[in-house]
Amino acid sequence: MGCGSGKLPPEAPEKGYAGVVRSLAAFGRARDGGGEDEPKKSAGKRGGSWFSTGGGSLPPASNSRPLIQDKVTKYRDKFDPRVTARYDIRALIGRGSFSRVVRVEHRATRQPRGGREVCASELAVLRRVSHSHVIRLIEVFQFPRRVYVVLELATGGELLDRVVSRGHFTERDAARALRMVLAGLGHLHDLGIAHRDLKPENLLYYHPGADSRLLVTDFGLATFADGTWCLTTTCGTPEYMAPEVLLRKPYSCAVDMWALGVVAYVVLSGSMPFEDDSRTRLYRSIVRGKFGFRGDPWPSVSNLAKDFVQRLLPLDPGARLTAAQAIRHPWVVTVAAGSSMKNLHRSISQNLRSAVVRLHIETERSSSARSPAPWFLRLMDPRSHLDHYESLPCQRTRDGSSS
């Protein structure tokens, strides 16, 4: 379940990578003609299982099964034979802006895994990270025009889907989820990596059980921030973009902390702190930085939780909590360890449902002339990805060598 609109991608950052990005964009139209070179494989640290696509990400099984089968067959054919020699393509999990995500089974071990194509910058980030709350890279197949990665398979669904599907949701549940995200984010920031697209859709549970780890995923926009204020590319998902990004100021990992503040607001209320049908008005309200705690369930939410959100959403990035500070905030420390609290579930799920309906209507309005995107198979996710990019008013800027 998503609460934001389509994201704004950066320009292809470096010449050496542009070929890969272009070939991925052309994925549905042309196959690699090559085959001459051997793939470079690199094994991840763990031989565990994955290939991306969670249970929560699959469309409803009943009437959409033939459609899914068609897609699996279609995409199976498009994988390089050297990949399919090693992995059996089992299901199409989803389609991102630059990639397809499929569930695979390792032919020798029969272990289920997740796989997708990625661009080189995403690969560089995935190679560096190693944390229990960050999706793990298992194996890489690198060809001149295309890169496939095998990842941990997250089958527990997206954060907000879980909030809605539970009959009960308290501040303690929110604090526990956010503590896991903060642990993963702290790891990234310690490595100098800015995620730049933190949002509930990119937070996936490892398995469907109540005790599952929550994982930070989708490093498609992630980059190494070599200095404190060295990034300039305008990218991200509009509702989660920090004011300094919209104002085209140099920015840092603090943009992820802003996005986390928006995620915290959404998880605690089911509504967005900054929201408007018009992108221009949305951006204006973000750069003003004014938001309130109006409507249900906010009167039932503790002041400590509101303080946590407020400390993540100051306009001045230097005044925002860092990941290391946020994980020590009294709300995270005491509430996550506390006992029962007020059930916020009813208001949160009502707010989320009406947000999804609003977004769906908006998306249908803006794309009525187009054929339905595969995302419409996922009833709760109205995003239409690339279609949105064309309508974004922002200029895209280059990031120098750092992005």
Catalytic positions, written as ranges? 197
Count CB atoms within 10 A of the CB of residue 114.
26
- State the binding string over 375-394 for ligand ATP (x if CB under 6 A, else -): ----------x---------
Query: Would you count residue 50 as binding ligand ATP (CB under 6 A)?
Result: yes
How far apart are CB 38 and ligand ATP at their closest, in Å? 26
Task: Please write down the HEC assignment for all residues of 310-337.
Answer: HHHCCCCHHHCCCHHHHCCCHHHHHHHH
Q: Helices marked H in 193-344 — which ranges?
A: 243-246, 254-269, 279-288, 303-312, 323-326, 330, 336-337
Query: Would you count residue 154 as binding ligand ATP (CB under 6 A)?
Result: yes
Q: Residue 326 contacts by C-beta under 8 Å, 6 or more apart in sequence?
A: 182, 257, 260, 308, 311, 312, 332
Nearest residue (CB) to ligand ATP, 170 versus 403: 403
Count CB atoms within 10 A of the CB of residue 167.
8
How far apart are CB 391 and ligand ATP at their closest, in Å? 15
Q: Of 5, 217, 252, 403, which one interacts with ligand ATP (CB under 6 A)? A: 217
C-alpha radius of gyration, the chain, whole number: 20
Nearest residue (CB) to ligand ATP, 152 versus 244: 152
How far apart are CB 4 and ligand ATP at their closest, in Å? 10
What is the 3-state composition of the chain as percent helix, strand, coil, each rounded to the nearest 5? Answer: 40, 15, 45
Query: Would you count residue 150 as binding ligand ATP (CB under 6 A)?
Result: no
- State the binding string over 65-104 for ligand ATP (x if CB under 6 A, else -): ----------------------------xx-xxxx-x---
Q: Of 135, 183, 260, 286, which one interacts with ligand ATP (CB under 6 A)? A: 135
Nearest residue (CB) to ligand ATP, 113 versus 189: 113
H/E run at residue 105: strand 100-106
Q: Residue 84 contacts by C-beta under 8 Å, 6 or more apart in sequence?
A: 76
Nearest residue (CB) to ligand ATP, 55 versus 314: 55
Query: Would you count residue 53 as binding ligand ATP (CB under 6 A)?
Result: yes
**In contact, 45 and 152? CB cutoff 8 Å:** no
Query: Would you count residue 218 as binding ligand ATP (CB under 6 A)?
Result: yes
Residues in touch with ligand ATP (CB under 6 A): 7, 50, 52-54, 57, 93-94, 96-99, 101, 114, 116, 135, 151-154, 202, 204, 217-218, 220, 385
